[in-house]
Chain A
């Protein structure tokens, strides 16, 4: 099994190696400054800050691997956060309903994206940009700040830890595991790679390509919604700006390509995306330790993303 897995192009191993290296450097640099990078609170912090982007990026990986793209995820995050907090409205009894509603909204938006892309053959960039604008408009017209509230019980998701490990990390781990199994162990996952790799070949092989793209988009919507639910529990309520403020649309795409997935689809590994998300979180953490300007972080991020993709392109050539 491992032998076969290693033969896949684009093993995520190099990305994890870089992550470990980066972590080591961070540890060293912070230690030289007299700090402790591996202190439990800091590690918890890194983990926590990976969860929101990580959840979105898992869904983004699915659509990018299928040869598509989702620019609407940031607003899906907002919508689901607001939906969860408005439906729950502080009542613990309504947690299941709130969850279902929030994830359901994500699924519906994903379905809409997929339907426009598959049915009307609209370029995914435009289709999901359009959806993003539609959702943003409606959301901002209805809400302008925190709305509703999540019950205290639900904030456990955002704040509690089991044996030092944040609960939210279990959520991310579960979603990653689920998506990994889906991609690498089910027919659907095989078909995602086929559709992203060569859609004509996939169709000629009897795959219903439209359905694959559609389902990938629904799952991306649900993943983004899960992220919104998590943020609502963190913040105590949902607000229309939580998604766009996190920049989850472009950041998630950046994480996917940073993790070694080709933007054109069909090639890449889910775990690479996760390593990239952790890398970004480690970087943020180092910057925070040095109280560096937030703008330095943005700048460095930009350089790293371009550099990494250039490196992948270079490796592809040679």
Chain B
């Protein structure tokens, strides 16, 4: 292999992996135990809710839209699961189905309003965020009640053998998402829809259906993320707070472009892990918790500026 092709290959590696490796090295430098498999797995488990959420968001972003409602959807799912389950383990199964179904319904509504009524998805999902926030808390009377059953929470905090449930679930979803986005007809049409809507339409792509399906995936994965988060962090009135923008940050860090047509599963996962690892590192460095936000902000701007620069220089 010549030097030139090596360089070309290196250039094709998503820069987010470099960032992730650097941050991980930084973490291990401060805390050598981090490299131990159990700690590492715990880190993956901690990242799982954001990673799953980012995968859903990725489909929406590549199709040329945006989903701001996922944070409110997570909160709604967690609160509803507690309220309906009331800690009763025998209800867990249908509650899981209900939560997932609710995610799908929210996705369908987001998708239909965006495509049929031609409301920009920024507004649709912003409105959905308000509606969900209002409706769920109206229903629960303002403060979440009920409890989460042990066997509902196991997915977010228990292990199967040495491996946390959450890691297994994340892995399964990541593989499925990879095949769906990068190996299926549907995935190719998601890219085409976002990369050239008109051209896709004129090539027979059912652009609206593709977009609605993307929103459905985002809603469904937000519901999965809610189940993981409910187990990991428990019942809270602001369970999903901040996750909407964090999931967008993760996919953008992974090289997806707002506007559509670009992005990848691997790099989006890298983005989610990098974000989580960055938070871990800042903790270890003893920086005030709020400065996480500052670093996240600088990181996403830098990532997008870099991507814009790379696109302009035609590589």
Interface residues of A (CB under 8 A from B): 116, 120-123, 125-127, 129-141, 250, 253-254, 257, 263-264, 293, 295-303, 305-306, 309-310, 313-314, 316-317
Top 5 closest pairs, chain A to chain B, by CB: A299-B134, A137-B294, A133-B297, A302-B130, A140-B290
- Judge whether B304 and A123 touch: CB under 8 Å: yes
Chain B, 285-311, CB within 8 A of any chain A CB: 288, 290-298, 300-301, 304-305, 308-309
A-B contact pairs, 22 of them (CB 8 A): A121-B308, A122-B301, A122-B305, A123-B304, A126-B252, A127-B304, A133-B296, A133-B297, A137-B290, A140-B288, A141-B294, A263-B123, A298-B131, A298-B133, A299-B133, A302-B130, A302-B131, A305-B123, A306-B123, A309-B123, A309-B124, A310-B113
- A133 adjacent to B293 (CB under 8 Å): yes
Given contacts A116-B305, A131-B297, A293-B142, contact A306 B127 (CB under 8 A): yes
Q: Using A116-B301, A126-B300, A295-B135 as known contacts, say yes or no to A306 and B288 having CB atoms under 8 A apart.
A: no
User: Are the C-beta atoms of A141 and B135 separated by less than 8 Å?
Assistant: no
Is the Cβ of A263 less than 8 Å from the Cβ of B133?
A: no
CA distance A126 to B307 in the complex (A): 12
Chain B residues, Cβ within 8 Å of A116: 301, 305
A305 touching B297 in the complex, CB below 8 Å, given contacts A120-B308, A122-B304, A295-B135: no
Say whether B119 faces chain A, with CB atoms less than 8 Å apart. yes
**Residues of the A chain whose Cβ atoms lie less than 8 Å from the Cβ of B298:** 130, 134
Query: Which among B130, B258, B295, B296 is the interface contact of A298 at CB below 8 angstroms?
Result: B130
In whole angstroms, what is the CA distance A116 to B252 when docked? 16
A303 B123 Cβ-Cβ under 8 A? no
A129-B290 in contact (CB<8A):
no
Please report the total number of B residues contacting A with Cβ < 8 Å: 46
Measured between alpha carbons, how far is A204 from B298 in the docked complex, in Å? 33
Chain B interface (Cβ < 8 Å from any Cβ of A): 66, 113, 117-120, 122-124, 126-135, 137-138, 142, 245, 248-249, 252, 257-259, 288, 290-298, 300-301, 304-305, 308-309, 312
Determine which of A253, A298, A317 lies in contact with B118 in the assembled complex, contact meaning CB atoms within 8 Å. A317
Instruction: Give the secondary structure class of A's interface.
Output: helix
**Chain A residues with Cβ under 8 A from B294's Cβ?**
133-134, 136-138, 141
> Counting chain B CB atoms within 10 Å of each CB, which of A136, A297, A298 scores highest?
A298
Shortest distance from the beta carbon of B69 to any chain A beta carbon, whole Å: 10
When distances are taken between beta carbons in the complex, the residues of chain B under 8 Å from A136 are: 290, 293-294, 297
| Bound-complex Cα distance A139 to B288 (A) | 11
Contact, CB under 8 Å: B118 / A310: yes
A313 (CB) vs chain B CBs: closest residue: B118
Chain A residues in 8 Å Cβ range of B135: 295, 299
Q: How far is the CA of A317 from the CA of B116 in the complex (A)?
A: 12
A140 and B132 alpha carbons, distance in the complex (Å): 27
B290 A141 Cβ-Cβ under 8 A: yes
- Cβ-defined partner of B117 (8 Å) among A126, A139, A296, A314: A314
Known contacts A137-B293, A141-B290; decide if A302 and B119 are in contact (CB<8 Å).
no
CB closest chain-B residue, reference A264: B120
Across the interface, name the chain A residue whose C-beta is closest to B293.
A137
A residues in contact with B248, CB < 8 Å: 129
Please pick, from B113, B134, B259, B297, the residue contacting A132 in the complex, using a CB distance under 8 A. B297
Q: How far is the CA of A43 from the CA of B134 in the complex (A)?
A: 26
Q: Which residues of B have CB within 8 Å of A317?
A: 118
Quick one: which of B131, B304, B312 contacts A126, CB cutoff 8 A?
A: B304
Given A121-B308, A133-B245, A254-B127, 12 new contacts (CB under 8 A): A130-B301, A137-B294, A295-B134, A295-B137, A298-B133, A299-B130, A299-B131, A299-B133, A301-B134, A302-B129, A303-B131, A305-B123
- Asked if A134 and B118 make an inter-chain contact with CB atoms under 8 angstroms apart, the answer reads no
CB contacts (< 8 Å) of A313 on chain B: these are 117-119
B133 touches A130 (CB 8 A): no
Cα–Cα, bound, A138→B293 (Å):
8
CB nearest neighbor in B for A127: B301
B308 contact from A122, A140, A310, Cβ within 8 A: A122
Give the distance in Å from the alpha carbon of A28 to the alpha carbon of B81 in the complex: 41
Task: Give CA–CA (A298, B142) in the complex, Å.
Answer: 12
Contact B117 A141 (CB under 8 A): no
**What residue of chain A has the Cβ atom nearest to residue B118's Cβ?**
A313
**Considering only CB atoms, which chain B residue lies closest to A292 in the complex?**
B138
Partner of B258, one of A125, A263, A299, A310: A125
- Which of A125, A253, A314 has the most CB atoms of chain B within a 10 A radius of its CB? A125
